[in-house]
Amino acid sequence: MCLAIPARIVKLEDDRAIVDAMGNQFHARTTFLPNVKLGDLVLVHAGFAISMIDENEARKTWQLIEEIDQFNDTQNKVSG
């Protein structure tokens, strides 16, 4: 529910980004992280990047998401 997903910024225009999480690409806004740049890893929640995150931590969360096996559901269930 309040689980944010780590994703890498693969395209960035102003505060509008396309991000990649475990091969899934989707839109995200970077409004709350004014200093992000292309290639950065961020935590995305309900369509917004809320924090920077490092590679190691991102990997751990991706693993957790795979384990919880709700990644597909998560895309439609993000309120929190």
Partner 1 sequence: MLQRIRKAQLLMDAACEIAGRPINIMEVCGTHTVSIFRNGIRGTLPKTIKLLSGPGCPVCVTHQGYIDTVLELADRDDCLIATYGDMIRVPGKYGSLETKKSAGNVKMVTSSEDALQLARDNPGKTVVFVAVGFETTAPATAVAVKQAAKEGIDNFCILSNHKLVVPAMQALLSDKNNRIDAFLCPGHVSVIIGYGAFRKIVEQYHKPCVVAGFEPMQIIEGLAEICRQIIEGKPEAKTIYTAVVTEQGNLTAQNIIAECFEPVDGYWRGLGIIPKSTLILKDKFSKFDALKRFGITEKPEEDTTGCRCGEVLCGLIDPPQCKLFGQTCEPQNPVGPCMVSSEGACAAWFKYNRRKKRS
Among 14, 60, 66, 71, binds partner 1 (CB under 8 A): 60
Alpha helix (H) residue ranges in the chain: 55-68, 71-74
Phi-psi region of 14 (alpha: psi -120 to 50; beta: other; left: phi over 0): left
Q: Should residue 45 be labelled a site residue for partner 1 when binding is judged by CB under 8 A?
A: yes
- Using the rule CB under 8 A, which residue among 38, 68, 71, 72 binds partner 1? 68
From 12, 20, 29, 36, residue interacting with partner 1 (rule: CB under 8 A): 29
* 1 in contact with partner 1 (CB under 8 A): yes
Evaluate whether 67 touches 34 at the Cβ level (below 8 Å).
no
Interatomic CA distance for residues 19 and 63, integer angstroms: 18
14 interacts with partner 1 by CB under 8 A:
no
Q: Is 70 in the site for partner 1 (CB under 8 A)?
A: yes
